[in-house]
Amino acid sequence: MRYEDVYRRSIEQPEAFWAEAAGAIDWETPPERILDYSNPPFRRWFVGGRTNLCHNAVDRHLAQRGDQPALIAVSTETNEQRSYSYRDVHREVNAFAATLAGLGVEEGDRVVIYMPNIAQAAFAMLACARLGAVHSVVFGGFAAPNLALRIDDARPKVLVCADAGMRAGKVIRYKPLVDRALEACAHPPGAVLVVNRGLDDALELQAGRDHDFDRLRQQHEGVEVPVAWVEASHPSYLLYTSGTTGKPKGVQRETGGYAVALALSMRAVYDIGPGQVMFTTSDVGWVVGHSYIVYGPLIAGATSIIYEGLPTSPDPGIWWRLCAEHGVRTLFSSPTAIRVLKKQDPDHIHRHDLSKLQYVFLAGEPLDEPTARWAGETIGKRIIDNYWQTETGWPVLSLLPGVDLKPSKLGSPGLPNLGYRLKLINEVSGEECAAGEKGVLAIVPPLPPGCLSTVWGDDQRFLSSYFSHFKELLYSSLDWAIRDEDGYYFILGRTDDVINVAGHRLGTREIEESASGCALVAEAAVIGAADETKGQVPVVFALLRQSAGDTDGRQQAAESIRARIVDQLGAVAGPARIYLVEALPKTRSGKLLRRSLQALVEQRDPGDLSTLDDPGALDAVKRALEQGSDLKPRKG
Ligand code: ATP
Ligand code: MG
C-alpha cells in the first residue's frame, strides 16, 4: 500500500473511503447516509447510524478477548499496579454506569469528571458513554476557578471526583477544590460522586449532595446496564481547549465519527492491533488521553497503560521499565516529557529491553530539532512527530507506519493524515501558497469524522473562531506552517506568534529553534516587543542548562545565543534583548504562554492566568526583567 494512493482515495472519494472505515466498528443500525453536508460548515457523518462508544470499546471484545488485559493502571505515587481484563473493565464500567443512573443521569445529560490519571477515570468516562451521557473531563491539575468555569459552561447533572491525587509524593486533596468550585458556580450539579482512594483522612462529604462511590456501588453489584444506542452525531463528550490563546473553548465531539476515526488511526497511524500494547503517557484530562489512553486502544482491542506519576520517579527509567515489562509497541508522549528525560543519564533507557518497542510518537507542541535528534539517537526507535488539536481529536499531520512509513524529516510532523484535505493560505493575499511559502494552515471542510462538530452551546463561536479567517470557507485554528516540495509540513507556531521586524515577518518558533540549538540552552521563548523604529523586535527568554555564573558569564552566554540566531536567520532576527530566566511560564499542558511574556515585557497585565502551571515562573520572568537584559547593548 502506498501512502499516496490511500490518501488520495480518502480525499477524492471521501464517502466510499469512510463507508469502508465504518466497517471497523459495530453499529446497532448501520448509517443511512455517509455524509450530510447540506449546512456548511456543519456536517454530519454516518447519518442515521446508531452505535455506542462503550460497546465498541468494551462489550464487543468480551467474546474474543475477555481475559486479555485491557487497561493496566500503574501509579508510582501510590506504588500500585493493577491489570484489568476486558471482562474486568466491563464489570467496573457497568457498576459505574448503574451508580450514575441511580443518581439520575440519563442520555444527553452532562457529567463532569475531575480525577487523577487512574483507571476509575476511564471507567467513569466509559460509563457515561454507555448511558449516552456526555462527559466533560477536567484535568485534575486545574484549580477551583478553572473547574468552576467549565462546570458553568457544561452544566452537569453529576460531578465525579476522587478524594485526592498525588504528585511527587504529595497528596493533592481534590474534594476541597470541588467544594470551592461548586460554591463559585452559578450552575452546580445536584450530586457529587466521590471515588475514595483513602488518601485524604480529612475527607468530608456533604449530606444530601455528596456520595461515596463504593457505598452506592454495592447496590448495583453485578447489574448489567443496557447500552444506549445513540445516533452517530450524538455528542460523546465535551473537552475544553488548553486556553493558550484565550478563554478555553468547549469542543463538542460526535460519537460515530469519533469511533470510526479512532479505529482507523489506531491502525494507520499508531500501528496497533488487537492484543498489542500502547502506552500513552498523557493525562486522561487532555485530548490525547481521551483518544489514546481510553477510547482508541480499547476500540482496537489492544492493551492500554494508564500512568499516574512523574517520568522521573522512582527513577528516570520508569517509562522504559514499563515498556519492557509490558511489551509496549507504541509509546505516545510529548516533547516536554522528552526534554525532561534528556537531562538524565541515558543508561536509564539502555538498561531495559526495548525490543518490542517500535515507535515513539510525540505531540502537543513543536518538537524542536535538538530534542528530536537526541531522542532518535538515544532511544534508537522511530520518533514520529504528530500535529493535532483538541478540536480535531486525532492527528492532522503524521507519518503513517500502519500504511506506509515514509522517512522522517527533522522539524516536520510529516504528511496530511487520511481524510484531511489541507491548504496553506497566504495571510495577505488569501491565496493558496506554493511549496516553500509560509502560510496559515487550514483544513478544507467538511471536517473529517472525529473532529469537533461545534463549540458546546455556541455555534456562533464555532463559526467565528474557526471558519471566518479567509475568503473561502476554511477551518483554521491559526497555526503558521510551510510545506516543502515533498509535501512535508513544518509548523512554525501560531499566527499571533509571528512578529514583524522592519517589514520582515518572522515566526517566533524559528528563532526559538535557533536559540534552543545552542548547547547552553535548555529551552527558549521568543516574543516580539514593540519598537519605535522597527515596529517589533525579537526578545529572547532563555533557560540555561546550567547557571552561567556572574555578570560576565551571563553576558557571554547571551552573546553566544545572539550570534547563533544571527548566523542562522540573519541580522534581522537578531534579538534586541536576551533575558536568562530560571523558569518559563507554561500552561498545565506544557505549552509556552507567550501572551503572558509579551504582556510583562510591555508592562501590561498578564491577563487570564488560570491555565498557568507554575505561578513562580511569572515571578522568575519579572525578576529577570527588573535585572535587565543580559545582552550587552549594541551600537547602531
Ligand atoms: P487554545 O486553542 O485554547 O488557545 P491550544 O491551541 O494550546 O489552546 P490544544 O488544542 O491543546 O490547545 O493545542 C493544539 C495546538 O498545539 C496546535 O494548534 C498547535 O499550535 C500546537 N501543536 C500541537 N501539536 C504540535 C506539533 N506536533 N507541532 C507543533 N505544534 C503543535
Ligand atoms: Mg488552539
Same domain, 20 and 146: yes
Q: Which residue has the cell 494508564?
A: 306
Q: Is residue 362 included in any domain, yes or no?
A: no
Domain that holds residue 185: 3-309+386-478
* Residue whose CB lies within 8 A of the most ligand 1 atoms, among 149, 238, 239, 242, for a mutation test: 242
> Which alpha helices (H) appear in 521-581, and where do they start and end?
551-569
Same domain, 469 and 512: no
Number of domains composing the chain: 2
Q: Is residue 87 included in any domain, yes or no?
A: yes
Mean pLDDT is highest, among 186-195, 504-513, 614-623, for: 186-195
Rounded CA separation 377/374 (Å): 5
CA of 477 to the centre of ligand 2 (A): 6
pLDDT category, 87, cuts 50, 70, 90?
Answer: very high
Q: Over pLDDT 90: what percentage of the chain?
A: 81
> Which residues lie across from 499 on neighbouring strands?
506
∠ CA 471-487-509, nearest 5°, is: 75
CA of 590 to the centre of ligand 2 (A): 13
Q: Is the CB of 365 under 6 A from ligand 1?
A: yes
What is the average pLDDT across 556-579? Answer: 92
CA of 263 to the centre of ligand 1 (A): 23
Q: What is the pLDDT of residue 635?
A: 59
Cβ partners under 8 Å of residue 21, min gap 6: 260, 261, 263, 264, 449
Q: Looking at the predicted structure, is the pLDDT value of residue 535 above 90?
A: no
- Taking alpha carbons only, the member of 513, 547, 524 closest to residue 597 is 524
What is the average pLDDT across 84-92? Answer: 98
Q: Is residue 377 included in any domain, yes or no?
A: no
Question: For ligand 1, atom 22, which residue shows the shortest CA distance?
Answer: 365
* Residue whose CB lies within 8 A of the most ligand 1 atoms, among 238, 333, 360, 387, for a mutation test: 387
Rounded CA separation 133/476 (Å): 29
Q: Is the CB of 538 under 6 A from ligand 1?
A: no
pTM score, two decimals?
Answer: 0.91
What is the average pLDDT across 250-267? Answer: 98
Q: pLDDT tens-digit profile of 236-248?
A: 999 998 777 667 8
Rounded CA separation 131/124 (Å): 11
Q: Looking at the predicted structure, is the pLDDT value of residue 76 above 80?
A: yes
Tell which atom from ligand 1 comes closest to the C-alpha of 494.
Answer: 20
Question: CATH no. for residue 591?
Answer: 3.30.300.30
Same domain, 160 and 228: yes
Same domain, 573 and 510: yes
Q: Is the CB of 368 under 6 A from ligand 1?
A: no
Q: What is the pLDDT of residue 69?
A: 98
Same domain, 252 and 139: yes
Same domain, 559 and 609: yes
DSSP state of 271: -
Rounded CA separation 545/98 (Å): 52
Same domain, 279 and 202: yes
Q: pLDDT tens-digit profile of 207-229?
A: 999 999 999 999 998 899 999 99
Q: Is residue 370 included in any domain, yes or no?
A: no
CA of 185 to the centre of ligand 1 (A): 28
CA of 98 to the centre of ligand 1 (A): 36
* Residue whose CB lies within 8 A of the most ligand 1 atoms, among 149, 244, 332, for a mutation test: 244
Q: What is the pLDDT of residue 505?
A: 77
Q: What is the pLDDT of residue 425?
A: 96
